[in-house]
Amino acid sequence: MAESTVTSKGQTTVPAEVRAALKAKPGTRLRWHVTPDGDVIVRAKSLSILDLAGSVKADRHVDIEDMNFSGS
């Protein structure tokens, strides 16, 4: 079981084995959820659709009519 200490500023270091399991790299956002019984669930925030903006290069312009073509 991994363990870390909270500093006086409320900071902690995520242990290397946890970072590896989450595939967390510098800049990875972590989401924290405290359950009613006091357990804490931490998840690496996955990309949103907005994070993908501009990641695909379009080779050509496609008209609306072409997108709506039913093929029949």
pTM of the model as a whole: 0.57
pLDDT of 71: 61
Whole-angstrom Cα distance, residue 7 to residue 28? 20
Residue-level pLDDT, tens digit, the chain, 72 residues:
899 999 999 999 999 999 999 888 898 999 999 999 999 999 988 767 777 777 777 777 778 887 787 665
Tokens of 22: 């989450």
Of 14, 17, 50, nearest in space to 32 by CA: 14
| Strand pairing class (30-34; 40-44) | antiparallel
